[in-house]
Structure 1
């Protein structure tokens, strides 16, 4: 016997319909790519999104066709997003922080028919236009006056919207129809496509609205610093309209000063971004003696959050920081570190230790921990194992079957993470499987060491990798990028770690570097670090002083550049040096712009995204 309730397909167009019907006057505020702050409402967004649907139909787009966006977080991007999905096409969000050749691969693999782009990325598309023949039209999210002719045949978004009708019926298709396409960042092999359905996005939205998860309310003002091209901005561009929250879209400016300006002028109460964004904001606040008068809650993901950031926001500004975890393959929410009843009864310091973990699974997510033989492991908070996940908004297979079968016999997806689970159901990522350090048959968590090291008052960023050891197989090496103007020694950092980690976890060496490269989702690019450190040899005995290493990523991969960068300083005589440049006890820079670009992407910290929700986004 079946129930007798209405068959009401869970399609995402209903989210914007709801926002228009019941929260139509609520504001969406954007820092536009052209510069000015632009204000609109859910009702206006709804009407213009319907015009987008008709404009796409006029350009030959049919249900199921892929329409890509290469754009920042703005109201126009939201219009395009809902306009694409509402008519049954697939919204494919492109990550502009990838190499040009990766963008070409992804666009062609997805068979994108149209690309909707911001002005920022017109030069990128112009440079690859002849390599993406399947793309029939490129639409620039601006007006005719801002098209400079550098991309022949480009169409002005505003002209298309103005000339299109808003008379179109959305939905009317099965809830399992594809809605969105997002590619992993390709840390191993080619990027892989994750094809979200309307149903999976709708269910993910309902879950994130819960008070134990994002807990956004109609009274909130939400600033999604995490980009829409990182797994749907962690679902915020669905959940905010679903509850009628005011949205503040940051556009291309993600530096501390620009984020702070929007937080204060727009009365933001809730925000979400990766740790590097919040580190930049914290630095700006301390330098400028700024305040946070309305911000109450922050969700951090993409990589593990250093304790110093959580303490800084809590103790200095009264802002509650919650850690979360997820990935492109989980839509992306997987866990969030909101306390259960038992944890809530603990004192503040005890609770803080749980906030630094990746958190508990909400309804709709199942977790399991297994060993290399796929046998279940105990939830004791100390046993490391491979983390697997299942649920209605978890990937079942990759787009076009890339990678073949990806689920185990029980329907669980292997995340590639190494983690622990404790008696409260709280999960903690200890490493990526490929990054875990295996020393003497035991595992050492590189993430835990680097997060503690990043809390040193002189450290800006820290990374830990395993290096070959003749006796123990691998031993940890700590790399540190110091804050501007600081100098430090190896012993300072080893003493700082002493007592905070197990003795046998202590790094065998500390190397000071001029840059720690970040990947396309704002996380430390350990693949690139390992490649550049492949010839490094541990010192023969403890106490040997380390030199400084220039580890900056070459500027070529940075294809987004909203702010001009200063010219690099080239040391005389080192114009053609290898990237390693040893100097006594102080981190210095050398120019490596003449070196061949590496095979993996590497970002700069000026404008990081995202993009592990907490979120690896891989």
Structure 2
């Protein structure tokens, strides 16, 4: 019989994070730009009291353990209170992306069977439009105060967030329950088919919080001032609202104001040291900073994920502005962090060029995640940096099935079950550095050889006249598929097709160079900031390459 440890059996619960922040970093600031137009300031101790008041209010509205509380909201302190007030009381916080098509929003809310919907004031017209299509919602809560409540609305029995909290005394004791209880629900971005839900547990979220804040991960500490540009509706802002509570640091939230000027001013005013976001956000911020001859006075570190970070963007942040870039990879199904590109003592001894090549990869798995690459028959491939195959993962915060679906998405590796197929194609080198070569649906199959669209995009993005680039496959009668490069020029640039194609010479094998270039005013993006290649493929499905 096994000898059991004699330790306190305290469950890993979301409420423990904000209780810790309130008790041990209670005076540390939380700063939010509000949709009402002003800046709100308070601290972790006040946030915890208000989260308890919210838990009381939701209970008074009839919410019971397991009920889903939906949010349509930007990054702000009220959204943070829902994260903790809902999950901490045994409810499920379900963040919904307001940038999705209205039909998708309604579909997601109905699939989750949300009972309550909390939304920011500027999203009232959207909610009014969708309300008749969301029959599960029993209570609509506008996240504002009484002074800003709309005078007229079509929403039945619209409630005011601040009025609800004012009616409660906050004398609420966070309950204890099984740490495997669901705490939050996030849906995939749904680029193909309907989005799918990932239902996280308190245990998985706490373990993700611990691991992501480690020095060789995001390296978060109480000395930081953290501003998540990544939205709180995008995989829980990559876990930063939880990490910030755990370490007790100052948290700055930008609301919906994500243009270059607004972000720069907030970075400087609040002395932000660390941030996180997708590449498109940093492109906009850098454009503003460069156009105005500005520098960052406190900003030292950022994690970039959501889609592959172009090496040119990484070098600009590092060389021109002294901002360390942590290249990360993850998925909604991974809570989301899977790998981060951080160097070990061994790699710090390499030449700078070799170090940079490693930093441009998606990096090594952090503790809690295991990964492998496999061929189409489920056989493991070697970690030699050359073989590429389907990327599989498993771990403490990886889903084993989607919300509401009975079929398991998991596959076997060398006959061993329990691996999640990511849909990415990747290589892994001998030191465990993983590099995404493409999404399986985006890779270009030319004459039996694979061409990485990401590699072509990275080369294009290094051209000084290119603002953004995307590569898609076009049908070819001889080679099956050939790459087409879609480009937006920087303002005032006069880049030509010939000059763009010439730029590839010597940087990649000649047969991999795109067959043609199309210049467009704008490249479409998904609601989470990723390039929407499905739209590009539909737009150019009948495109005739030169010589065909």
**TM-score normalised by the shorter chain: which range applies?**
over 0.9
User: What is residue 525 of structure 2 aligned with on the other side?
Assistant: 518
Aligned-pair CA distance for 1:124: 0.7
Note if contact 2:328-2:340 (Cα within 8 Å) is conserved in structure 1.
yes
C-alpha distance in 2 between matches for 1:33 and 1:238:
23
C-alpha distance in 2 between matches for 1:138 and 1:485:
47
Aligned-pair CA distance for 1:484: 1.9
In structure 2, the gaps of 5 or more residues are none
User: What is residue 454 of structure 2 aligned with on the other side?
Assistant: 447
Alignment partner of 1:535 out of 522, 532, 542: 542
User: What is residue 572 of structure 1 aligned with on the other side?
Assistant: none
Kindly provide the CA deviation profile for residues 281-328 of structure 1, in whole angstroms up to 9, marking residues without a partner as x. Answer: 111111011110111111101111111111111111111111000010
C-alpha distance in 1 between matches for 2:512 and 2:495:
21
Note if contact 1:192-1:402 (Cα within 8 Å) is conserved in structure 2.
no
1:209 matched to 2:216: no
Alignment partner of 2:275 out of 252, 259, 271: 271
Q: Map of 1:29-68 to 2, 5 A cutoff?
A: 29-68=31-70
Q: Which is bigger in relative contact order (C-alpha 8 A, separation at least 6)?
A: 1
Describe the SS at the equivalent of 1:165: coil
Moved more, 384-393 or 1-10: 1-10
Alignment partner of 1:480 out of 478, 487, 501: 487
Alignment partner of 2:433 out of 426, 435, 455: 426
Note if contact 1:19-1:242 (Cα within 8 Å) is conserved in structure 2.
yes
Note if contact 1:122-1:151 (Cα within 8 Å) is conserved in structure 2.
no
How many residue pairs were aligned?
A: 541
Aligned-pair CA distance for 1:382: 1.9
Alignment partner of 1:114 out of 113, 116, 119: 116
Note if contact 2:307-2:530 (Cα within 8 Å) is conserved in structure 1.
yes
C-alpha distance in 1 between matches for 2:460 and 2:153:
46
Note if contact 2:409-2:420 (Cα within 8 Å) is conserved in structure 1.
no
User: What is residue 193 of structure 2 aligned with on the other side?
Assistant: 189
Alignment partner of 1:238 out of 238, 242, 246: 242
User: What is residue 95 of structure 1 aligned with on the other side?
Assistant: 97
1:26 matched to 2:33: no
Aligned-pair CA distance for 1:403: 5.1
Alignment partner of 2:107 out of 99, 105, 109: 105
Q: 1:282 to 1:403 in 2, by over 3 A?
A: farther
Aligned-pair CA distance for 1:340: 2.0
Note if contact 2:409-2:421 (Cα within 8 Å) is conserved in structure 1.
no
Aligned-pair CA distance for 1:165: 2.2
C-alpha distance in 1 between matches for 2:154 and 2:385:
55
Q: Map of 1:286-435 to 2, 5 A cutoff?
A: 286-401=290-405, 404-408=408-412, 409-435=416-442
Aligned-pair CA distance for 1:166: 0.6
Using structure 1 for the length normalisation, give the TM-score. Answer: 0.86
Aligned-pair CA distance for 1:76: 1.1
Note if contact 2:274-2:301 (Cα within 8 Å) is conserved in structure 1.
yes
C-alpha distance in 2 between matches for 1:182 and 1:107:
11
C-alpha distance in 1 between matches for 2:75 and 2:394:
29
Alignment partner of 2:475 out of 468, 471, 476: 468
C-alpha distance in 1 between matches for 2:264 and 2:407:
42
RMSD: 1.1
In structure 1, the gaps of 5 or more residues are 542-618
User: What is residue 14 of structure 2 aligned with on the other side?
Assistant: 12
C-alpha distance in 1 between matches for 2:57 and 2:488:
49
Describe the SS at the equivalent of 1:401: coil
Aligned-pair CA distance for 1:483: 1.4
User: What is residue 150 of structure 1 aligned with on the other side?
Assistant: 153
Describe the SS at the equivalent of 1:5: coil
Note if contact 1:323-1:358 (Cα within 8 Å) is conserved in structure 2.
yes
Note if contact 1:396-1:407 (Cα within 8 Å) is conserved in structure 2.
no
Kindly provide the CA deviation profile for residues 93-142 of structure 1, in whole angstroms up to 9, marking residues without a partner as x. Answer: 00111110011111011000000100121111100111111100111110
Aligned-pair CA distance for 1:532: 0.7
User: What is residue 199 of structure 1 aligned with on the other side?
Assistant: 203
Note if contact 1:462-1:478 (Cα within 8 Å) is conserved in structure 2.
yes
Describe the SS at the equivalent of 1:410: strand
User: What is residue 258 of structure 2 aligned with on the other side?
Assistant: 254
